[in-house]
Structure 1
Amino acid sequence: MSDHGKRLWGGRFASAPTEEVLAFMAGRDVAAIRPCDEALVPYDLDGSTAHATMLMECGIIPAESGRRILDGLAAIRAAHDAGEFRLDPALEDVHTNVERELARRIGDEHAAYLHTARSRNDQVLLDMRLWERDVARAIAAEARGLAEVLIALGREHRADIMPGFTHHQHATVTSLGHVLLGFVGGLVRTVERMADWLGRFNRCPLGAVTGYGTTFAIDRECVAELLGFPAIEEVSLDPVQTRGEAEAELVSALELGVQHAASLAGSLILLSTTEFRCITIADGFSTGSSIMPQKRNPDSLEVIKARAASVVGCSAGLRALAGRSLFGYNREQQWSKYIVMDAVREGLPCFGILASVLQTMTVDADRMAALADRGFIGATPLTEALCQERGLAFRVAKTVVERAVALSVAAGSADRVSYEALMQALAEAELPIDVSSDDVRAWQSPELVLSRLTHAGSPGPEAVLAAAEALTSRLGRRQV
């Protein structure tokens, strides 16, 4: 039986969603979320390896024990990579699991030295900072990838006319390329925010211990260098008592990025409806109904909106954790780990899924052009033409065209200002201006309007190309 036959829908689809897309859309319905500390195993091993190396080099622990610790940590890493090292919930956390496994492999007499000059406080801080550093780079890469897709599509569709909207109503003429590029700036800023985050928080917290240091003569700069940090946290208390701040800023930046993605997703949903029919979402990013045979639901885009809302909630939760206790470590700070991981799990995949939706969607340029000639969308260009071609002051011209719109509606027109209506409005305003019917028609032509939009940042084809180049250059300036 085909996959279509196993599900309750799919018979009308030419292709089915991939397992990745189905998992994205299904969320937690039938799949469990892995424990947070499973994601930290590689980072805990990295941190312990660097810490043990420093302890050896500083002569704080016996060299033989140090060598055995390093060998044991390498063996645990190999076991983890092979799927043979699993966390025991009875041991509370990743740190205890690693230390107990190390003792099992090399003996307590050697493993007991590993925790010298270290607390679980700064150990988890380090694990999280390493994980978050990779996450920040991943968010930047995913946002950059979506931005690059939008830039490419913006170039491709720079001359595809469509209506621009305000208040969900026809406003004036634009192009699909311009609309798509309108979402790139927010993604570029997401990349920039990740670079800014790294500039503030890519610092090594290990050595803070409980927040108040240690009497052992440790070399914190050595550990930082081994782990690829450009600097250490200057005051040991700071990273301990502000745990959650780095997480809050990271999720806040992610929140803004996925909100841009959700906004675009919502627009694509509307443009794909039967009423608009401007685009078609590919089968691989749609689902069907258990009862309605004809349905093609844009679930992938709807889920992006839902996941963005989840990230907003996580962002609020992290801010609520901050600054409500006596200085030093307090247990509620541990919850920042769960919240930031929830946010990343929900938000990070949105960029790639949306990029794939965009790359596979079908655009009906003729339909968009037809919609761009309805609802008096040419009224504003007509107003501007009366200013530019006949010398009217803008406020006067707008008043005249408003009256002409009302007269056109009364005469049964719902799309363009008629020549007769404009002439009557001019006459009522006692403005003896020479305007031909050809002028009125041309000044409202979507094609002519788009060609006259030439200033920087406008929807005109050449302006869109220039904007695409500028955005590409800006993306290239911020490497994360």
Structure 2
Amino acid sequence: MKLWQKDKASLKEVEKFTVGKDQEMDLYLARFDVLGSLAHITMLESIGLLKSDELSVLSSELKRIYKRIEEGNFIVEEGIEDIHSQVELELTKKLGDIGKKIHSGRSRNDQVLVDIKLYLRYEIEEIVAEVKNLFDLLVQQSEKYKDYLLPGYTHFQLAMPSSFGLWFGAYAESLIDDLVTLHGAYQVVNKNPLGSAAGYGSSFPINRKLTTELLGFSTLNYNVVYAQMGRGKTERIVASSLSNIAGTLSKLSMDACLFLNQNFGFISFPEELTTGSSIMPHKKNPDVFELIRGRCNQLMALPNDIALVISNLPSGYHREMQLLKELLFPAIQHLKHCLRMSQLMLSNISIKDNILHDEKYKFLFSVEEVNKLVVAGMPFRDAYKKVGMDIERGFFKSDTHLNHTHQGSIGNLCLPEISALMNATIDGFRFNDYKEAIKRLLV
């Protein structure tokens, strides 16, 4: 079944090629397609295009379909082009001509637009929750291991003392900025495109503000041409924000792979969280972190992949936009999986104590010795030169005691302040606003 078909069917090869993976990808959108239809028919009844009894039976049947989707008992049947066709087919089979009325005043173009925005809104909330879980773990580990020192590097050369408190806390704070950018994407997502139809509006007196309220959107995409132009742009913006989270996870994973290496030996994990070698019995490979790193590197390429699909397209709808589902939808699931696996690994990490007692790390404290001389009254450049000459002549001796007190330093991690920033960022999403609207729609 095709919503656009009249009296002639497409050649099977054309049909197969153009449908592509839409049946599979549209299962991600299934429940959101139903929500969009519930709002749309409520609006149609308000402007006289549906009778109240027709609205009642359509709503009841759509809610039954929604329940089946939630229970995992819904499929897009073989030969059915997409989720929109499947839902309308089921309504028509059950309700006859009444089922055919739900498409008045809209197109598959704005139908898929609203489905995608509802889906992305839901997934952004899911990702925020997973990021918060990882953030909380990082803050907890930062506090737990705040006194465990490790080498800091610049140019991958020994530089200055760091700590696992700083290391865990750095990635916690990085996630805050990642969510700041995700909030920007959320604001783009949380605008209603429904009612733009094929991209040029409708001659029906539809009430777009009503569907905006019913679906819990913060506002409209007002201009109907721009609403359609948002297809692709929205996905790219979301992908860009997701790539920031992926970048944080990739860097963390690279650190973990290095720190687990025997030449570093800073951390370890239980054997059940690492893998072995088929011929080397001593191996404990960080496969989880390597796969997180690789998957997240793929995610960082996602905005460019999307941009290359939509670049140089004129305004209006174009069929290659359906390919964006195949790029973005699975990527979202991969990112959530990476976030969960990062939590599993870091909650089972073991940290080596007294790492910097090793003689090879003594020059890490050279800046500390320079600073002591400066505090005693020596000009910085003279102090720098003296300590440098002591190192060259083999006279350098260091005290491993550290006294860093400024905000964000080894001795003052500012974890409460960092946690407050994260909570304020998450509060800015106001997820409950849309969730209350959806709850009312499903009553």
User: TM-score range, shorter-chain basis?
Assistant: 0.7 to 0.9
How far did 1:79 drift? 2.8
2:144 corresponds to 1:160: no
**Once structures 1 and 2 are overlaid, which stretch shifts more, 269-278 or 211-220?**
269-278
Structure 2 Cα separation of the partners of residues 51 and 243 of structure 1? 20
For the structure 1 residues 356 and 313, does the alpha-carbon distance in structure 2 shift closer, same or farther, using more than 3 Å as the test?
A: same
Contact preservation (8 Å) 2:152, 2:161:
yes
Which of 15, 25, 34 is residue 45 of structure 1 equivalent to? 34
Query: What residue is the counterpart of 1:437 in the other structure?
Result: none
- Cα RMSD for the two superposed structures: 2.0
What SS does the aligned partner of 2:254 have?
Answer: helix
Structure 2 Cα separation of the partners of residues 318 and 49 of structure 1? 30
What SS does the aligned partner of 2:152 have?
Answer: strand
Contact preservation (8 Å) 2:149, 2:161:
yes
Query: What residue is the counterpart of 2:391 in the other structure?
Result: 405
What SS does the aligned partner of 1:243 have?
Answer: helix
Structure 2 Cα separation of the partners of residues 349 and 33 of structure 1? 23
Q: Which has the larger radius of gyration?
A: 1
Contact preservation (8 Å) 2:23, 2:83:
no
What SS does the aligned partner of 1:242 have?
Answer: helix
How far did 1:149 drift? 1.1
Query: What residue is the counterpart of 2:421 in the other structure?
Result: 474
Once the two structures are superposed, what CA deviation does each residue of 1:198-231 show, in whole Å capped at 9, x if it has no partner? 2233111100101111111111111111111121
Query: What residue is the counterpart of 1:457 in the other structure?
Result: 408
Once the two structures are superposed, what CA deviation does each residue of 1:238-265 show, in whole Å capped at 9, x if it has no partner? 1212311111111111111111111111
For the structure 1 residues 196 and 237, does the alpha-carbon distance in structure 2 shift closer, same or farther, using more than 3 Å as the test?
A: same
Structure 1 Cα separation of the partners of residues 271 and 82 of structure 2? 43
Query: What residue is the counterpart of 1:210 in the other structure?
Result: 198
Structure 1 Cα separation of the partners of residues 135 and 234 of structure 2? 25
**Once structures 1 and 2 are overlaid, which stretch shifts more, 169-178 or 60-69?**
60-69
**Once structures 1 and 2 are overlaid, which stretch shifts more, 58-67 or 236-245?**
58-67
Which of 356, 371, 375 is residue 369 of structure 1 equivalent to? 356
Question: Which letter maps to 2:406?
Answer: H
Query: What residue is the counterpart of 2:122 in the other structure?
Result: 134
For the structure 1 residues 243 and 33, does the alpha-carbon distance in structure 2 shift closer, same or farther, using more than 3 Å as the test?
A: closer
Query: What residue is the counterpart of 2:399 in the other structure?
Result: 445
Once the two structures are superposed, what CA deviation does each residue of 1:325-348 show, in whole Å capped at 9, x if it has no partner? 222111222222222213212222
Contact preservation (8 Å) 1:170, 1:375:
no
Query: What residue is the counterpart of 2:227 in the other structure?
Result: 239
Which of 215, 218, 222 is residue 227 of structure 1 equivalent to? 215
What SS does the aligned partner of 2:158 have?
Answer: strand
Structure 2 Cα separation of the partners of residues 111 and 372 of structure 1? 79
Query: What residue is the counterpart of 2:262 in the other structure?
Result: 274
- Give runs of aligned pairs for residues 99-178 of structure 1, distance below 5 A: 99-107=88-96, 109-178=97-166
Query: What residue is the counterpart of 1:423 in the other structure?
Result: none
How far did 1:33 drift? 12
What SS does the aligned partner of 2:103 have?
Answer: coil
Which of 156, 169, 184 is residue 196 of structure 1 equivalent to? 184
Segments of 5+ residues of structure 2 without an aligned counterpart are: 1-20, 430-443
- Give runs of aligned pairs for residues 4-83 of structure 1, distance below 5 A: 35-83=24-72
Query: What residue is the counterpart of 1:289 in the other structure?
Result: 277
Structure 1 Cα separation of the partners of residues 382 and 149 of structure 2? 29
Segments of 5+ residues of structure 1 without an aligned counterpart are: 1-31, 409-417, 420-440
Query: What residue is the counterpart of 1:265 in the other structure?
Result: 253
Contact preservation (8 Å) 2:110, 2:193:
yes
Percent of pairs identical after alignment?
27
For the structure 1 residues 253 and 83, does the alpha-carbon distance in structure 2 shift closer, same or farther, using more than 3 Å as the test?
A: closer
Structure 2 Cα separation of the partners of residues 87 and 290 of structure 1? 43
Structure 1 length-normalised TM: 0.81
Query: What residue is the counterpart of 1:384 in the other structure?
Result: 371
Contact preservation (8 Å) 1:163, 1:371:
no
Contact preservation (8 Å) 2:246, 2:300:
no
Structure 1 Cα separation of the partners of residues 358 and 260 of structure 2? 13
Structure 1 Cα separation of the partners of residues 131 and 72 of structure 2? 31
Query: What residue is the counterpart of 2:297 in the other structure?
Result: 309
Which of 254, 267, 287 is residue 299 of structure 1 equivalent to? 287
What SS does the aligned partner of 1:164 have?
Answer: strand
**Once structures 1 and 2 are overlaid, which stretch shifts more, 112-121 or 197-206?**
197-206
Query: What residue is the counterpart of 1:4 in the other structure?
Result: none
2:243 corresponds to 1:255: yes
Once the two structures are superposed, what CA deviation does each residue of 1:31-70 show, in whole Å capped at 9, x if it has no partner? x999211111110111111111111122112333332222
Structure 2 length-normalised TM: 0.87
What SS does the aligned partner of 1:182 have?
Answer: helix
Contact preservation (8 Å) 2:22, 2:322:
no
For the structure 1 residues 300 and 81, does the alpha-carbon distance in structure 2 shift closer, same or farther, using more than 3 Å as the test?
A: same
Structure 1 Cα separation of the partners of residues 267 and 379 of structure 2? 40
Corresponding pairs, count: 407
Structure 2 Cα separation of the partners of residues 326 and 182 of structure 1? 43
